[in-house]
Structure 1
């Protein structure tokens, strides 16, 4: 028979194993947990997947804000599900699949805009999404096209071309001489070409290191154009008002030309008189300064005048001195 202690140990082992398994599953799928993972799941419709896959990044202004959770076919379009956290998504947000690396890795770029929050139940429509031109697909199509070439027909074309130039040795020789001269010229410029290629490599490295800045510049320009589009009516009204004001001012000047002409002529005569008597006016202001200063000192004590009469009383034995006003 199993003792009670053995039964408790067995139960504790089973419970501990279950808790450990649950913790492991939760750790591997913590982003999907409602209280830990966080974020909001949205959907967007695209004309094609363009190589986008689950676990690809979701970026806003070049910053990762989430990841793609699913890519599935929905009738004649592709439905992309993605989760976003710590980012605002408006009801006019646009989505674009962009190339992340030259190896063909993609990411989903969002351009948030709008006057309300995007409803997670409503996918971003096809009219607000774009897909990039895939260079890898183009090379695959090139390989398919090259594989479909009829080599026998191509060989026959070259034989026909050779027969055509069979009687034109002089012309062919001249063409080859020209190609030889061109190759010698290029060979003589080898150092310059090497320097040019090195500088081009430096420029390409600089551009590659500044790709994020270029992307932010393009995104900021897009936001600026979007804001100008929103303010288009206000800017139109401002321009219309400025045009109307210019017309009113022009009409005012035209209506008062007869009155403004004599007034301006008289004003010119006045300025001429003042200019001719400028020295007299300067002398007058120079002499008037001390006079007004003395008058100001006389009436500066209140509602009366301060007057000092020297020698009025015979007992004044001291010489006349003005009173001390300090």
Structure 2
């Protein structure tokens, strides 16, 4: 067991720290409210330029603006707008080759005077790209070279020295999110599209995983005919280990199911079971799910019906698989 010790901080003022935190949040909230008033035609024109982009959106920025730029590029890419980040300093040493004439460049600099960005502005103009500037100074060098200027001007930084980028970077981040949201809306971007960009996430698994991807199939599916004897039913259930068996007709159609729960109830009622056939003890019209259905549909069916197994059928109603609640858990669909 570890013992945590702390060094006394006689000069630390907890109340002052909380006041500074509240002041920071207030200043940044006010910056965002002010930013809302700055959204005008240039914003719509920027969205239009990105929608019509034949290449990709290339985001650039130095220092804190660069960190924000990486996040903006990632958000754009994950919401339907192909985008990537290029470091302006590296662009001067070869990475400018990643930019093509069909691209839209979003250059971010609060001052608009970043030396690394200024150095490549003439080259960007020669490439013929559409240059969007996100800056707090519309009279800056960056703004002068840009086709469109998006203002992220703030009245003050949250830093008490009014030096460290705080409110301004918050404004940049929010403006980047606004671009991404406006673009995904204009593209008609849907949940399914988002899932395709996030196949490893929970939403991706729910919207991209189909029953056929996770079901048991072939010899792993327990099945007997309606005429099968009671002990044949037991052997099939034991051999396949799914806690149930499907009952099929001559054409392979799923006409019934018999489960462990049915077996317990049958034994509790007593009576002779050796002469029983599968057709005598099965549940007719079993709950089934289509093989091309989303796995989440099967999960909903199981939860609503309070069952742990479901049979999988093709378009003709023929048995093609079986699915258990544990299969869905393993696939992280639920």
Quickly name the TM-score band, shorter chain normalised: under 0.3
Question: Which structure: larger Rg?
Answer: 1
Report 1 or 2 for greater relative contact order, CA contacts < 8 Å, sequence distance ≥ 6.
2
TM-score (norm 1): 0.16
TM-score (norm 2): 0.16
